[in-house]
Amino acid sequence: MRLFATTLLCAFALLGFGRDRRDPPRGEAASRRFNATLAVGTPYRRPSLPASLSGIAWAGGTSYYAVSDDAFTNEVGLYPLTLELASNGLSVVSCKIPFSSRRIRLAEAYDLEDVAFDAVNGTVWAVDETRGTVKEYRLADGVVLRTLKLPDFLRQDRSNLGMESLALSEDACTLWTCTEEALTCDGPRPAPRCAS
């Protein structure tokens, strides 16, 4: 499901969902989608959508929350979005993502990789890969409500290969996460094998 959701968000960013269709494509997203080029001296304009959404969580009905991990463009935060699926549950009918100025800035967040909506408490949990944290945030203002105490062995991740995922049980009592790569205490990184 996470792979589907991540792929879906990447497609939205590339296709320009949420932008007025009369608004011409701009910036990096435009060049990827339309092979557009800018003349020398033309000011660069950031796309109107967040450029780096890294995780998505369903919040009921057509409501979702997505997080961005792009600290370099100052887009880190939580983005509410509306996503309407076709009756087959696979095709996207529409997606509306608020402009960057409407994001919820999550306190102490730097490299958000995934998010889980807590319907029981009306909050979100987010995993920060670089800082190695899982925190609960208040939706109204992004204030940290709780920080999970993680086992020490999870601190033995490889640079930029730490916690990438997050899922929450329906009763909001259990969280799951996993690392992108084996921990250093697990031994060397796995290498691909070729069948002979």
- Give dist(CA 133, CA 126) in Å, integer: 8
**How much is the pTM?**
0.70
- Give dist(CA 144, CA 179) in Å, integer: 23
Q: Does the pLDDT value for residue 12 go beyond 60?
A: no
Q: Yes or no: say if 123 and 91 are a contact pair by the CB < 8 Å rule.
A: no
Please write the tens of the pLDDT for every residue from 15-51: 344 333 333 333 333 333 333 444 565 554 545 556 6
Helices (H) and strands (E) in the chain, counts: 2, 10
Q: Pick the closest to residue 122 from 161, 168, 85 (CA basis).
A: 168
Q: How many CB atoms lie within 10 A of CB 34?
A: 12
- Band (pLDDT 50/70/90 cuts) for residue 99 is low
